[in-house]
Amino acid sequence: MALMEFDVTARRRDAHGSEARCKQAVIPLDTDPAGNTDAFNPAELLLAALSACMIKGIERVTPILKFRLRGVEVRVHGVRRDVPPRLESIVYEIVVDTDEEDRRLDLLHDNVRKFGTVFNTVAPGTQLSGTLRRRRPGEEGPPS
């Protein structure tokens, strides 16, 4: 089986921030000990990677399952412990805008948990739990 490889380069811009580069993309990073509201700090970046992993997994599997959806939103909450420094727990909620049956939502959630690279990297080292649910009529926020 062929292995996939990934390369990212991160570089300090100044005392308030850094940036990560991959392919043609650049992501500002909050590496300022005082914080920087214009960038993701490392923990937030990990949570964003987990969210992106879930959405990418959904994008990958929906054509295979012939699953119809209008949008997806992932909400993630992480709790950091100071000693030793680590994310102690991560709770997520995946909100799918769809008319599919509940059993198909369960199937979609199973696929997210089984086949997500970042999901399966993070899961053994933290309390990772969450739900996948249908968007309620009139609920605020896109998923799109």
What is the chain's pLDDT, residue by residue, as a tens digit (144 residues)? 889 999 999 999 999 999 999 999 999 999 999 999 999 999 999 999 999 999 999 999 999 999 999 999 999 999 999 999 999 999 999 999 999 999 999 999 999 999 999 999 999 999 999 999 999 887 876 554
Where does the chain have alpha helices with state H? Answer: 42-65, 102-115, 117-122
φ and ψ at 64, to 5 degrees? -65, -45
CB 111 within 8 A of CB 62: no
The structure tokens listed for 138 are 């009139």
- Chain centroid offset of residue 60 CA: 15
3-state secondary structure of 77: strand
pLDDT score of 1: 81
